[in-house]
Structure 1
């Protein structure tokens, strides 16, 4: 049995009938597939704030940096009270040890990006984040977030889930505040970071190398900020192929010329987007097991999340 990871989620995505029209937005991928690995902490800002179901729909009015939450027909402004509720709710969520949050897209309360902003006369002019979604990201800047729309983009979904599992591992070492644990975390995630951002891979390596010259609190803070920033960059086929070639160097004296040529051809076919990442990864994991290469066995790059999620099966 695997340990379920705590994940915040907009209640309507679990099938709860809490939307303004009395309906839900049940997402079967979330409940049936992700639900095997995550323990849900549902939140519906509008209901928990005190609005009824059904209710008059809301929209955001003003500018992205300071939106107002206003009912469409009657023009009632719920901004200040919603922000007061959000502050209290965020304090409660601090106790949940969340490792991620899936928000309802386009929601004026829960959306995190691309939510329509209207002028006072009702004309859509800009896009931004919902009241609660925006407040959550400011309060928990390190926690991975996504909305249900982007969750169904294979590349964005893989990146999000990868970040969730990384954040869970970070929470565990953060409790000890041990430099040895930090070094181990860094070592185990080296190739994963290289696939996301070679620049952050380099700068984090330098930071860890200077660990004894940096205050421990400053070290941990700077490390996770840089690590989170790097992991939010997408691992492209080109960057992944570079990591795969780097890994293949560990086998150059162990496998035959034909096997080496086969591996290089598979990596190139992946780089050209002819085959999914799982193909070269499977062959590489075979060689890692066969030749018992300890450094590669500890790399989360080869096992960043449960294989059953099939996140590396897309082209």
Structure 2
């Protein structure tokens, strides 16, 4: 069984860890609960950290001019500066972190869809934004795996988050081992990286080939920078198909006409969203086993994170965002 690195994830403390929501509740979350055996969580509640207590009066984001303020309607207290000071100080001090899971729509932790109001008076929201803490996370750590717990109910989003999270953790683990370990890491991730960004993969290949010219330390720095860029886009359906076909070509000469036709039909069904990609990956892996292709079997493309986390349930919401 593949040994996976344990990612380090900053998480909103109200999610599974402590009853610290404004109303004194804790939010139970199956995704986070399942991750606990595979992830080192670092819980934090920005609102408690700035002294608002539990339970507490609600806070909201209020727009004044072009600026957003974090206000407590019942007391008219302005906690904008406290939240910004805490966020900057806390985030400057985190180390060896691979990702964040933050509370959906929270005026402190939310990453998007946080309601913005015109005043502290009762009235409808006038727009949406990020929370003050969550927005700062997105600004400083966009290269890490960042999600809201609500969005992780969607299978596609969850799969992408896990892939990025465990890949970043694996890279962080091997960095101290030097360039040779990075080369091995790179080889195992060739097809996964191709699915995310073939142009960036080509850049990474060139970086490793110029080891003699740039030296080990500079090569590692350049490679790490490329890694941060790699996951800026997601692995799209067309990219997955191209990678799958690239792997398939290794086995094609050994397959019957009917086997080839079956695979091509399966790939087209995936393109038409009538078949999950797992079906395509499974048949490719079966070919690798059949033809004893250890190089393909060692690729993280087939299992970028622990298989037990592969839960196909889906909320049905937020499918392509």
Query: TM (normalized to structure 1)?
Result: 0.87
- 2:155 maps to which residue? 154
Say whether the 8 Å CA contact 2:101–2:149 is kept in structure 1.
yes
CA distance in structure 1 between the partners assigned to 2:66 and 2:254 by the alignment: 57
Say whether the 8 Å CA contact 1:64–1:128 is kept in structure 2.
no
CA 1:313/1:26 → structure 2, altered by over 3 Å: closer, same or farther? Answer: closer
**Structure 1 runs (4+) greater than 6 angstroms displaced:** 312-315
CA 1:63/1:14 → structure 2, altered by over 3 Å: closer, same or farther? Answer: farther
1:20 positional shift = 1.0
Aligned residue pair count: 311
- 1:118 maps to which residue? 117
- 1:80 maps to which residue? 81
Gaps of 5+ in 2: none
Q: Which moved more, 1:150-159 or 1:60-69?
A: 60-69
CA distance in structure 2 between the partners assigned to 1:265 and 1:108 by the alignment: 48
- 1:6 maps to which residue? 8
The structure showing larger relative contact order (alpha-carbon pairs under 8 Å, at least 6 residues apart) is 2
- 2:263 maps to which residue? 263
1:3 positional shift = 5.9
CA 1:19/1:65 → structure 2, altered by over 3 Å: closer, same or farther? Answer: farther
1:159 positional shift = 0.6
- 1:26 maps to which residue? 28
CA 1:2/1:200 → structure 2, altered by over 3 Å: closer, same or farther? Answer: closer
Query: TM (normalized to structure 2)?
Result: 0.86
Residue deviations 1:105-151, cap 9 Å, x none? 11111112232333457664443322222233344343211001211
Residue deviations 1:254-274, cap 9 Å, x none? 233322222222222222211
CA distance in structure 2 between the partners assigned to 1:311 and 1:243 by the alignment: 23
1:92 positional shift = 4.4
- 2:99 maps to which residue? 100
- 2:144 maps to which residue? 143
DSSP-derived class of the 1:8 partner: strand
Say whether the 8 Å CA contact 2:76–2:120 is kept in structure 1.
no
CA 1:129/1:223 → structure 2, altered by over 3 Å: closer, same or farther? Answer: farther
Residue deviations 1:38-59, cap 9 Å, x none? 2322111111222111111111
CA 1:23/1:81 → structure 2, altered by over 3 Å: closer, same or farther? Answer: same
CA distance in structure 1 between the partners assigned to 2:131 and 2:222 by the alignment: 29
1:169 positional shift = 0.8
